[in-house]
Amino acid sequence: MSTIRCENVQRRFGRTVAVAGVDLAIAAGEIYGLIGPDGAGKTTLLRMLAGVLRPDAGRIHIAGVDVLQRPEQVRSLLGYMPQRFSLYADLSVLENLVFYADIFGVRGATRRERLERLLAFARLDAFRHRPAGQLSGGMKKKLALACALVHHPRVLLLDEPTNGVDPISRREFWDILADLHLEGVTILVTTPYMDEAERCRRVGLMHQGRILRQDAPAALRALVPGRMVAVYAENLPAVAAAVAAFPGHRSHHTYGDRLHVFVDADLADPVAALAAHMRSHGLSFRQILEDTPRLEEAFIHLIGHQASLP
């Protein structure tokens, strides 16, 4: 049975349809990533799963408990870290944790033991007496996560938990999520970072209130039609112009110091053919090789241009 399950969940705000019928089944212990452009409905969906926003229609079960009928019971099963998590800036790290422990009724010896564990777990031990307002961005996120874990939830909902955090803190944050994964916690996380989506077992691509596709990251990347050849060259505008005339060319775009060229899948040896094509146009290149598309490229292929209207 799925730990997070929703059926045909819908929510409007006035005339705007934020979530237009979402079905989701996330297994126990899974790390599931939700990606999608701004306004796709990710945050609204998470808020409904957390029981802080009522859907207009549909059913939601967390660990078998109906969120709409038993919101109190669900709250004890669930840790929820919204995008703007409130920490008390003038309270210390430890005092913030104590505050959340009070809210969730965690007391006595259990509380002492758990707070110590969370401080170590979130790598915040050495900063326990520092006011939360004086923590770095990455440390604030780790404290927010620790606060969301204070009642030992089995399910964790994280809304863009590492947005604006530097790469080192981000990697540390994901190491902590891996620890939770080892303990069997089910994690649903939204992210704007494609490299983070790669860390999830399954990824759902949300667009205009619906989940368009969901699969393992590698399977999503394989959805981009054709094969991808990366051309490393000096004069990329000239290479792009020549490549557009290559038989079997589907699309191309600049990617830093290289051009990603998508060609028909039935070409026998696209690398050799493209190399010959470039030489016949008098163009040189440093390197040319077949590569796998990025998740970002799958994302853009799946939603296409329709998502980028003002």
Partner 1 sequence: MAAVVVEHLSKRFGDFVAVNDISFTVAHGEIFGFLGPNGSGKTTTIRMALGLLPPTSGSVRVLGIDVVRHPERIARRVGYMSQKFSLYPDLTVAENLQFYGRTYGLRGRELARRQEEVLTLIGLEPQRRQLTAALAGGWKQKLALATALLHRPELLVLDEPTAGVDPINRREFWRLLYRLAAEGVTVFVTTHYMDEAEQCHRLALIHNGTLLAVGAPETIKQTHMPGQVVEVICARPQVALQVLRTADLSEVALYGERIHIIGPDLEQRLDELAARLEAAAAGLHRLRLIPPSLEDVFIAQTARNLQNTAT
Q: Is 142 one of the binding residues for partner 1 (CB under 8 A)?
A: no
Q: Of 1-9, 14-22, 270-278, 302-310, which part binds partner 1 (CB under 8 A)?
A: 302-310
Residue 95 binds partner 1, judged by CB under 8 A: no
195 in contact with partner 1 (CB under 8 A) = yes
Q: Check residue 232 for interaction with partner 1 (CB under 8 A).
A: yes
- The 282-301 contact track toward partner 1, x by CB under 8 A, reads -----x------x-x--xx-
- Look at the block and give the residue holding tokens 């191309």: 252
Per CB under 8 A, does 90 bind partner 1? no
Our finding on whether 140 is near partner 1 (CB under 8 A) is no
How far apart are the C-alpha atoms of 198 and 294, rounded to whole Å?
Answer: 10
List, in order, residues 6 or more apart from 26 with CB less than 8 Å away: 2, 3, 4, 5, 32, 186, 188, 202
Stretch that binds partner 1, among 10-18, 103-111, 167-175, 274-282 (CB under 8 A): 167-175
- Minimum gap (Å) between residue 180 Cβ and partner 1: 11
Task: Give the pair of three-digit tokens for residue 286.
Answer: 């440093």
Backbone torsions φ then ψ of 247, nearest 5 degrees: -65, 130
Work out how close the CB of 160 gets to partner 1 at its nearest, in angstroms, rounded to a whole number. 9
**With respect to partner 1, which residue has the nearer C-beta, 100 or 173?**
173
For partner 1, how many residues bind (rule: CB under 8 A)?
Answer: 50
The answer to the question of residue 163 lying near partner 1 (CB under 8 A) is yes
DSSP string, 202-240: EEEEEETTEEEEEE-HHHHHTTS-SEEEEEE-S-HHHHH
Q: How far is the CB of 58 from partner 1 (least distance, A)?
A: 25
Token pair in block for residue 7: 């059926």
Residue 252 and residue 231: Cα distance in Å, rounded?
Answer: 10
Q: Is 57 in the site for partner 1 (CB under 8 A)?
A: no
Strands 227-232 and 287-291: antiparallel
In angstroms, rounded to a whole number, what is the distance separating the alpha carbons of residues 236 and 259? 7
- Given a contact cutoff of 8 angstroms between Cβ atoms, the answer to whether 33 and 13 are in contact is no
Structure tokens belonging to residue 48: 């409904």
126 binds partner 1 (CB under 8 A): no
In the chain, count of helices (H) and strands (E)? Answer: 11, 14
Tokens for 117? 């564990």
Does 192 contact partner 1 by CB under 8 A? yes
The CA-CA-CA angle for residues 84, 86, 90, to 5°, reads 135
At its nearest, how many Å lie between partner 1 and the CB of residue 278? 18
Q: Which of 136, 244, 264, 290 binds partner 1 (CB under 8 A)?
A: 136
Give φ, ψ of 85 to 5 degrees. Answer: -80, 135
Q: What kind and span of H or E run contains 171?
A: helix 167-182
The yes or no reply on residue 71 touching partner 1 (CB under 8 A) is no
Q: Which of 56, 125, 257, 269 binds partner 1 (CB under 8 A)?
A: 257
Does position 221 interact with partner 1 (CB under 8 A)? The reply is no
* Residue ranges that bind partner 1, judged by CB under 8 A: 29, 31, 36-39, 136-137, 163-164, 166-169, 171, 174-175, 178, 181-182, 192-195, 198-202, 216-218, 232, 237, 253-258, 287, 294, 296, 299-300, 303, 307-310
